[in-house]
Copies of this chain bind each other. A is one copy, B any other.
Amino acid sequence: MTTLTLGGAINAGLRRSLANDDRVVLMGEDIGTLGGVFRITDGLKAEFGAHRVVDTPLSEAGIIGTAVGLAYRGYRPVVEIQFDGFIYPGFDQIVAQVAKLHRRSRGTVKMPITIRVPFGGGIGAAEHHSESPEAYFAHTAGLRVVSCSDAADAYVMIQQAIASDDPVLFFEPKRRYHVKGEVDDRASLADAKPMGIASVVTSGTDVTLVTYGALVQIARDAATAAAEEGVSIEVIDLRSLSPLDLGTVADSVRRTGRLVIAHEAGQQLGLGAEIAASITERCFEYLEAAPVRITGHDIPYPPAKLERYHLPDLDRMLDGVDRALGRPNSLSGVEA
């Protein structure tokens, strides 16, 4: 066991993947000499060389498109997209190539590409630096989408993503990069929990609160705050956004009868829509109230001074819990 920041845990996971498999190469803008703008790849170029940790020209389609070619040759490229809002120039290569080539080649060509994306807000950044584009990828067949919320998961999941023969979008909660946690850096990957499985991080009986990434900690805090008021919240960290581990969520909702989903991305067609619809399908008879979504507004990410009025926080989560429980809340008395 060792204590690492979430960012440090990813760095350690990358290092281990590079060491274990010489077909693993890291590619991206500024990831080599600089170690990335968040220093997630710090030291790796020095350790593994410029052919394993590759500073690329400034072009996202170029990075992902050449990663496809490398995958064709048997490499396992790990691509860094510098910020969430810069992934769109590479969208075509992700959606039309990375996601589809295993299928389009009838399973003969593997696309074991990991696309790392620091995502989400809360760091007071400029426009395009705080986005939550995960739903675009979760809507895309052929991709896997995961997000970690703490150092321990980050360390294991990045290695699992790289080891997966499927392409994985790996969303890193950038405002948690500096948060420390215990990491078991000796454990074998084989024993680790698969990245497709959700975690129940706090058990509870009254409401199921589902989230992922940076909001997991806030959900924990909400559970603590609610406990003081006698409300018992079960917090689930999804970890995998595609496929969703709906079994774990449904098990919980069958016990609690109430579901709140929180994410930073906009509400319309955010992950909350899929979870609400799927859980309603699976648990209709168990639901005591409609699933509640606590999300970013359906707006372009606002200027830094306004982000607290956009991001779901503890108060908004608790307001959602109150709605799910039918307790007085911000929408009390409003026509649905």
**A-side interface residues toward B, CB under 8 Å?**
61, 85, 88-89, 91-92, 95-96, 99-100, 103-104, 127-128, 135-136, 138-139, 141-142, 242, 244, 250, 265-266, 268-274, 276-278, 280-284, 287, 289-293, 297-300, 336
Contact = CB atoms under 8 A, between A and B. Distances in A.
A299 B141 contact: yes
Please indicate which of the listed interface residues A99, A141, A277 has the most CB atoms of chain B within 10 Å of its own CB: A277
Nearest to A97: B88
Contact of A104 (B127, B244, B278): B127
Contact of A336 (B92, B104, B266, B281): B281
A135 B142 CA distance: 16
A271 to B, nearest CB: 7
19 contacts: A85-B96, A88-B92, A88-B95, A100-B300, A104-B127, A139-B139, A139-B268, A268-B274, A269-B269, A269-B271, A272-B277, A273-B273, A273-B277, A276-B281, A277-B277, A280-B290, A281-B292, A282-B336, A284-B290
A272 B278 CA distance: 10
Contact of A99 (B96, B265, B300): B300
Contacts of A280: 276-277, 280, 290-291
Contacts of A99: 300
Given A91-B88, A141-B300, A290-B281, A96 B128 contact: yes
Nearest to A139: B269
A106 to B, nearest CB: 10
Contacts of A85: 96
A287 B289 CA distance: 11
Contacts of A277: 272-274, 276-277, 280, 291, 293
A61 B91 CA distance: 11
Contacts of A128: 96
Given A141-B300, A281-B336, 11 more contacts: A61-B89, A88-B91, A104-B127, A135-B139, A139-B270, A273-B273, A280-B290, A281-B291, A281-B292, A281-B293, A284-B336
Contacts of A276: 273, 276-277, 280-281
Nearest to A142: B300
A178 B204 CA distance: 57
Please indicate which of the listed interface residues A85, A91, A104 has the most CB atoms of chain B within 10 Å of its own CB: A91
B103 A299 contact: yes
B289 A139 contact: no
Please indicate which of the listed interface residues A92, A265, A291 has the most CB atoms of chain B within 10 Å of its own CB: A92
A206 to B, nearest CB: 18
Nearest to A261: B277
A79 to B, nearest CB: 16
B138 A268 contact: yes
Across chains A and B, which 8 residue pairs bring their CB atoms closest together, nearest first?
A: A88-B92, A276-B277, A139-B269, A284-B290, A91-B91, A273-B273, A282-B336, A273-B277
Contacts of A242: 268
Contacts of A142: 299-300
Contact of A139 (B88, B96, B136): B136
Nearest to A133: B95
B336 A283 contact: yes
